[in-house]
Amino acid sequence: MPDATHALLVIDVQNDFCPGGALAVPEGDSIIPGINALMDDFAAVILTQDWHPSDHLSFASQHPGKAPMDLTQMPYGPQVLWPDHCVQGTAGAAFHPALRTDRADLILRKGFRRPIDSYSAFFENDKTTPTGLDGYLRTRGITALTLTGLATDFCVTYSAVDAVRLGFAVTVRQDLCRAIDFDGSLAAAQDGMAQAGVRLA
């Protein structure tokens, strides 16, 4: 019988983050069979979904003269500018068709506020605006999380570090994540997670 206090959190396994997508993570689709198999070991499965309006301010297309992967300053701090991706209602925003979405107890959409990006499953990038996931987990009595998904060095690491900060016991299954690895971002993310108290498995 799976432990009712331990949930599987699957981060952003969407078409735009898989090969052929607008912001493809190398081998992003290769982790799906392993994630699907892991779902049966958990009483609770939560999927997150990047869900941006078409004019989201994290898109380079909204900043004249800027290119994808440029850095800009937002009111909440530095922001990587991305190619347009995971636009609400598009095929790119949909979950990868191979992902078992039927096992999800909750699908949490994030990044839908135009002026602010949202890497973490728990907070927008201002680190204060909550997504509501913390309250959902607490009301279900969940105290431990195992994270999988895309991308290790952005949405997975932000989610993991926030979860520890909120008091959850957190494991990241690195074999079931893939990284963008932009300018050394994977190594930095691994160091940051380890220092925060995330168990890297």
Summarised one tens digit per residue, pLDDT across range 10-47 is 999 999 999 999 999 999 999 999 999 999 999 999 99
Q: Which of 12, 16, 50, 153 is catalytic?
A: 12
Given a cut of 90, is residue 128 above it in pLDDT?
A: yes
Going by C-alpha positions, the residue among 135, 138, 143, 148 that lies closest to residue 103 is: 148
Structure tokens at 150: 């895309």
In this predicted structure, what is the pLDDT of residue 182?
Answer: 84
Given a cut of 90, is residue 147 above it in pLDDT?
A: yes
Phi-psi region of 159 (alpha: psi -120 to 50; beta: other; left: phi over 0): alpha
pTM of the model: 0.95
| Residue 110 bears catalytic tag | yes
- Architecture (CATH level 2) of domain 6-53+84-200: 3-Layer(aba) Sandwich (3.40)
In this predicted structure, what is the pLDDT of residue 183?
Answer: 85
1 — pLDDT class (breaks 50, 70, 90): confident
| Residue 66 bears catalytic tag | no
> What does the pLDDT average to over 114-138?
96
Residue with tokens 């971002």: 185
In this predicted structure, what is the pLDDT of residue 132?
Answer: 97
Please measure the distance between the N-terminal and C-terminal CA atoms of the chain and give it in whole angstroms: 22
Q: Which of 50, 155, 162, 177 is catalytic?
A: 155
**Residue 163: is the preceding peptide bond cis (ω within 30°)?**
no
The whole-angstrom separation of Cα 94 and Cα 87 is: 9
* DSSP for 114-163, written as a single string: TT----SSSB-TTS-SB-SHHHHHHHTT--EEEEEEE-IIIIIHHHHHHH
In this predicted structure, what is the pLDDT of residue 13?
Answer: 98
Dihedral, 56, 59, 62, 66 alpha carbons, nearest 10? 160
Summarised one tens digit per residue, pLDDT across range 187-199 is 999 999 999 999 9
Q: Which of 16, 84, 86, 110 is catalytic?
A: 110
Supply the mean pLDDT for the chain. 96
Q: Domain boundaries in the chain?
A: 6-53+84-200
| Residue 40 bears catalytic tag | no
